[in-house]
A = this chain, B = another copy of it.
């Protein structure tokens, strides 16, 4: 059966061109970059070249890019690092209520450590009002962390505005750009970003490598103490092939951004239209325009998301849901609840995230499959039965 992967927000397939670039660094140039002999220096050189590439993609200096093992590490490092370094200055930190768990759970952890956290709610369209953040700023606020683009509903946040509010108030601003990097042009200078997290596997790079942008002059505690790697700020023998892969994948993403985004948006919009035409009782989640071009998020009333995902899988379609069952938690996704959706509706969400490898040819099959599965599950659903009877 044909496999149609529609979960690019979860992870993407490693680009063959990126893999090709990585291979020599998995095989031949294995020298420890901290070593002073030739094969060590070759690794070092390759890493610094990769750093140059990443820096040029975000309009910053290479000395402001630090390689990490993933988006989660970057987020944890940024938040814990700012908190630890500034604990004598203040203990108040601000975030939004639709952050990824890597930010949200780190905030909750900091709360347990005695920091005060303010979680600013987004509007009904999944976008935060920068003024609401500004209002929460206090004398002892040391950090604002707001994601660039949301992983579930794709909404893009007004980062430059939030950045300038933070800068004006002399507060460090971190953005989790894990979903944005490679899809949206990012200029850290213009956007007043102090710290920014990215993760390679979200833009066709390898898993297990990420980066944190740390603006020059921003001081944060280390998360990894140890050797002198990454200019003494992030210890550990470097994941050379991973770093090469991250840089190459980012470069390719930026080079082909317009083309890919157009391609993806066309397919996304066609699937969205198809679903809206064929399936009643649905709710489209998140702002329809201020969102990532690859993201659709619907709630289908009267059904539950895990069952939906599994049945789509039978049809060769890989997708995701914010239902409690798929998130492994007790509640449906906090992002959907943040939009004001009731639990029972949030349980029935479907996220489709398209990618470069998505094809216009599959649109009808995707729409038909979803319509069939939704219908089948509704036929099984006592909620739907009740609803239909009530409608008369």
Q: List residues of chain A with CB under 8 Å of any chain B CB.
A: 3, 5, 7, 10-14, 16, 19, 26-27, 30-32, 34-40, 69-73, 75-76, 84, 100-103, 105-106, 108-109, 113, 199, 201, 206-209, 221-228, 235-242, 306, 309-310, 312-313, 317-320, 326-329
Which residue on chain B has the smallest CB distance to residue A22?
A: B26
Interface contact A318-B31, CB-CB below 8 Å = yes
Contacts of A38 in B (CB 8 A): 313, 318
Interface contact B11-A235, CB-CB below 8 Å = no
Contacts of A318 in B (CB 8 A): 31, 35, 37-40
Contacts of A207 in B (CB 8 A): 30, 237-242
25 residue pairs of the A-B complex, CB under 8 angstroms, read: A3-B39, A13-B27, A14-B26, A19-B26, A36-B306, A36-B326, A37-B319, A39-B318, A69-B236, A69-B239, A71-B236, A73-B236, A76-B225, A84-B113, A102-B225, A102-B227, A102-B236, A105-B225, A105-B226, A106-B226, A108-B225, A207-B237, A207-B239, A208-B208, A208-B241
Interface contact B224-A72, CB-CB below 8 Å = yes
Interface contact B237-A70, CB-CB below 8 Å = yes
Interface contact B10-A35, CB-CB below 8 Å = yes
Interface contact B70-A70, CB-CB below 8 Å = no
Interface contact B209-A72, CB-CB below 8 Å = no
Contacts of A76 in B (CB 8 A): 223-226
Contacts of A19 in B (CB 8 A): 26-27
Interface contact A39-B226, CB-CB below 8 Å = no
The 5 closest A-B pairs by CB, nearest first: A208-B239, A69-B69, A102-B226, A72-B236, A37-B313
Q: How far is the CA of A36 from the CA of B317 in the complex (A)?
A: 12
Contacts of A326 in B (CB 8 A): 35-36
Within the complex, the shortest CB–CB distance from A147 to chain B, in Å, comes to: 13
Contacts of A242 in B (CB 8 A): 207-208
Q: How far is the CA of A237 from the CA of B12 in the complex (A)?
A: 11
Within the complex, the shortest CB–CB distance from A16 to chain B, in Å, comes to: 8
Within the complex, the shortest CB–CB distance from A14 to chain B, in Å, comes to: 6
With contact pairs A106-B226, A226-B76, A226-B106 given, residues A36 and B309 touching in the complex (Cβ less than 8 Å)? yes
Which residue on chain B has the smallest CB distance to residue A323?
A: B36
Interface contact A27-B14, CB-CB below 8 Å = yes
Interface contact B69-A70, CB-CB below 8 Å = yes
Q: How far is the CA of A71 from the CA of B327 in the complex (A)?
A: 29
Q: How far is the CA of A16 from the CA of B207 in the complex (A)?
A: 20
Within the complex, the shortest CB–CB distance from A323 to chain B, in Å, comes to: 10
Find A223's partner among B70, B223, B310 (CB 8 Å cutoff): B223
